[in-house]
Amino acid sequence: MVWRVLLLFFTAAGVVSQSPATCASSARAAQCPPSIKDETTPWSPAAPSGLVRYASIVGNATWPWLNRTRDLTDNWYKISLHNVLLAACLHRPSDLARCVPSTSYLADVDATGACVRAFDVDNCHDQGLCERIASCKWAAVEPNATTARRVRFSPDQAQAALDWIAAGYPRSLAPFMLLGLVFAGLVWLCAAVFATLRFTCDRCYGKQPRPRGYSRAQRWQPIAAMVVSTAALLFLMVLVLLLTPTFLLGVQHTVATLNATTTSLLQIQANMGDTFVAFRRNMQLNLSSAFAPPSTSLRDSYAIVASAATAFQTKYTQAGAFPFYACGGANPRPLASSLPCMACPDAVCGQVSSAVQSILTPAATALDQVLGLPGRLQAAAAVDPTDLASTAAFMQELYAAGQALLTYNLLADGLLHFRTWGLVGVIGVFLLAMAASISGFVGVFHGLRSHTSVYINLLHLSWVLGLSFASLAFAASAALLTASVVGHDLCLYMQLVQDEPELYVPDRIAVFVRGCFQATQTPLASVGLDNATAAACALQVVLQTADATVNASLGQTAAAVAGYASQLAVNAAQLWADPTFGPFLVTQATASTGQPWNTSTLDAPWIGYGLSNQTTCATMAAPLCFMSTQCKGNRTKCYQAFETAFAYYTATKEMATLAATMQADFSGNRGVQTLLTSLQDSITIQAGQNTDAVRQGIVGDIIDQAQTLQCTPSLNCQFLTQGVAKLEAYFCRDTLHFTVLASAALVLAGGFYLSLALAAILLQKRLRGVVKSKVGLHRQNAARIVGFGSGPPALHTN
């Protein structure tokens, strides 16, 4: 189960040809709410202030010492971490089993919910079970594989990992633990030997003070040692107490960071799980089914319009020259005059081809957008299935990791207990030292006042408590130092996971971790969703492009139709005869024939001659035939002058007739304009149906789901990068710096209190003895008494 602790710790630490520019990762991210986009601010802890700052300086100075003391290679830490994780895997039966029930969250299933199947001899399908997702033992399933599923480690590697946990790693911690325990044992052993020799055998200079007494220096030197030891203890205790709030907050924040990481892991799956399942299923469907089949009449309508427009174009681009009787037709009558054939004006015939093309081309574009939309959407939605399979694997690994961490949070629980009982133990040990000092100073105070005071015996309690404190201090220091070393290793493990996550955490989570810490991929790309959401974005772009193209194309067609219809109306209303040149030709004809003419009599010259009809001339050229008779042939000046005027006015009338006919053919009830209007309405209706189908069907769901996945607030690197920064600050700095400092403080305090205990042992005898100056005074008094015949007074020896 240890792997779950490490996983939490390390996780906290650690086919579209080309998408449009609007579907690039940065462009899609810009569409997300600001609360999601702005989650890139680096986190840094607040700097300590006041006395805590000076205590932190001391704590920080002890950390490099621990690094130098540990002094192991990176390869050693890699092997250590690998063995720890492997041993944890071996002690977790749930990860050793290859097959799981189909209802398990560990089952490897495809988009339809069916178990991913393998075909090797030991496959799970034959057992009525599912292949489990990748674990610490089993590599990811290769669908339809016939070879045995790959196991990540061999039996020899497994045994080596167990041996490492049982002996290898503890052996690396032994120097840090044993040194303190040896010192503690030596203190107790020396204390026991001393007590036995002095109080049982009256050895070690005996229990009684020397009869000759002690000098003031011999009495005050141990007192000074007690003062210095107590002062050192007070300084170290204050230093530890100053860092205690930082330590308490460090543990609290470390636990909160670990819990927040667990919550964030589960939140990703909670926010994305259902949406991704639906998105993956929809992306694998045929999007054409989302549309109602386009009406066949739409294509037929365009064919009718195109045929009518082409016929219109052919008819009027081949209108020929005027007048028709001389310049067109199968058997034209040659002009006898010098008047050339008049070409059809550009305003009438010259714009037909360009006008028809300007009408049909955008209409065809609009029709293509409507009819080809399902196919373009299907092409835009083409995504490599392995991308979505990677995302599914990431979701499964994430959920499995989160569930494991929810049910097993040993590191957080251990830190909380350590915060409480570790601090109580450290404070308790320091209070024991204070009790030793207080009892010692009480004994000293009364001993200085009277060498017979019973309070001097408190010095026995003082040195016993002092030695007890020193022994406990060495043992507690060893425990704290060992805990610091383990924490130091965890911090280095955390860095290893950041550098090479694929060696230590599940496959897809490793890709996510690497993308976050090494900035190789965006979070969306690292979980395999970047291409899929880009494809969904491309669907939206295709739709927007189709709508814009249809609207623009139909607008162009409508503008072209309106413009050309207006031009035809102008042509139909125009008088094509020149108001100066025409009358001039009539005047010339009058002068040459001697007969007055006007535009009416030119068409029926016999009326001018008082006749009722054209006699025997052909109908088509009756006026010319009649005038050929009147002018005695068509080579005469008379005939040529008349024909010039007649041909000119006939040509202009034919132009007017042609313009009127063109307008009728284009704008009439069955004209091109009417057919185009009907086609535009049909295209607009079909485009609207497509839009409704998109909004209410699969494509609309895909676009919405992709937007949801793209903007999932929990799918970011913030909780990982900030989690690492917080763990480095709260655990590797505040918590471990405190434990290292407390360990060093206990060692120093234990050393000082060995001197305090020795001083108390010395003072317990010396304060019961007399001062040497008083011994000399007693001797002088005794000499005087001897001189008077009396014996010397007895000296106090107890």
pLDDT digits (tens, 9 = 90+) for 342-359: 888 888 888 888 888 888
Number of domains in the chain: 3
In a domain, 442, yes or no: yes
| pLDDT for 649 | 87
In a domain, 409, yes or no: yes
Q: Is residue 774 within a helix (H) or strand (E), and if so which, with residue range?
A: helix 772-787
In a domain, 655, yes or no: yes
| Residue 233 · residue 749 · CB < 8 Å | yes
pLDDT digits (tens, 9 = 90+) for 747-782: 999 989 888 888 888 877 777 666 765 545 455 555
In a domain, 756, yes or no: yes
Domain stops at, among 672, 698, 724: 698
Q: Are residues 193 and 115 in the same domain?
A: yes
Half-sphere exposure for 724 (CA within 13 Å, toward CB): 20
| pLDDT for 763 | 79
Q: Are residues 134 and 186 in the same domain?
A: yes
State the average pLDDT over residues 104-133: 86
Domain stops at, among 698, 723, 748: 698
In a domain, 117, yes or no: yes
Q: Are residues 243 and 130 in the same domain?
A: yes
Residue 149 has pLDDT above 80, yes or no: yes
Burial class (CB in 10 A: 0-12, 13-18, 19+), 259: middle
Long-range contacts of 676-682 (CB under 8 A, 24+ apart): 676/305, 676/309, 676/359, 676/363, 676/557, 676/561, 677/561, 678/301, 679/298, 679/301, 679/302, 679/305, 679/363, 679/367, 680/363, 680/366, 680/554, 680/557, 680/558, 682/295, 682/297, 682/298, 682/301
pLDDT class of 790 with cuts at 50, 70, 90: very low
Q: Are residues 477 and 508 in the same domain?
A: yes
Domain that holds residue 38: 2-285+390-531+709-766
Q: Are residues 500 and 615 in the same domain?
A: no
State the average pLDDT over residues 619-648: 81
Q: Are residues 340 and 376 in the same domain?
A: yes
With a pLDDT cut of 70, the percent of the chain lying above it is 84
Q: Are residues 97 and 226 in the same domain?
A: yes
pLDDT digits (tens, 9 = 90+) for 255-283: 888 888 888 888 888 888 888 888 888 88
Residue 57 has pLDDT above 80, yes or no: no
| pLDDT for 7 | 41
Q: Are residues 30 and 146 in the same domain?
A: yes
Q: Are residues 671 and 784 in the same domain?
A: no
| pTM of the predicted protein model | 0.72
Tracing tokens 């993956």 back to the chain, one arrives at 280
In a domain, 221, yes or no: yes
Q: Are residues 664 and 756 in the same domain?
A: no
| pLDDT for 122 | 86
* Residue spans of beta strands (DSSP E) within 674-777: none
In a domain, 304, yes or no: yes
Q: Are residues 297 and 409 in the same domain?
A: no
Residue 44 has pLDDT above 90, yes or no: no
Q: Are residues 508 and 649 in the same domain?
A: no
pLDDT digits (tens, 9 = 90+) for 568-602: 888 888 878 788 888 888 888 888 887 888 887 88
Domain stops at, among 649, 671, 698: 698
Instruction: Return the higher-pLDDT residue of 532 and 39.
Output: 532
In a domain, 704, yes or no: no
Rounded to 10 deg, the angle between the 423-449 and 736-766 helix axes is: 20
State the average pLDDT over residues 437-460: 81
